[in-house]
Amino acid sequence: MKHILLPGLLAGLAMVIVSLILNALTGVLLPSLMAEYETSGIFRPWSDPLMSLMFVEPFVLGVILAWVWNKTKPCFQVCKCHRPWILFGLGYWVLTIPGMIMSYSSFPLSLIMIASWSFTILLQALVSAFLLSKMNK
């Protein structure tokens, strides 16, 4: 359990930090994207108490990824690559692509918004995979 809970929670914290940094950069680099969040009418306002769940999700995901890493790390170490955590992170990211396609096809969202989500998930996946690989060898 110690190889799952603590590393998972730290991976979740890292995912929150990556998300906050990228959201701040997005606000500066792509102000039209931030306007889309505010004017689309699809998203809840930050004043809604349910929005606090946005900060819980990375921790739940971090624990799940820690469990998956703990179960699958021998598979990634057999590949003889220097950084098996990259394969793990990329593997998780690839699994999110169908969800991005569904979001783009189901909701009136711009492709740049979906691409920004996908990029954020990629960086979150790589950072969390790196942490998990270092904490749970």
**Mean per-residue pLDDT pooled into runs of 10, the chain (137 residues):** 91 96 92 84 87 94 96 78 87 97 94 96 97 88
pLDDT of 2: 80
Ramachandran area for residue 80 (φ above 0: left; ψ -120 to 50: alpha; else beta): left
Q: Which amino acid is at 76?
A: F
| Structure token pair of residue 18 | 């990556």
Domain that holds residue 117: 5-135
pLDDT of 117: 95
pLDDT of 70: 92
Angle at 127 between CA 66 and CA 78, to 5 degrees: 60
| Structure token pair of residue 63 | 């624990």
pLDDT of 80: 67
Residue 102 belongs to what H/E stretch?
helix 84-106
CB atoms within 10 A of CB 84: 20
How far, in Å, CA of 130 to CA of 86, rounded?
Answer: 7
Backbone angles phi and psi of 2, in degrees to 5? -70, -20
Q: How many domains does the chain have?
A: 1
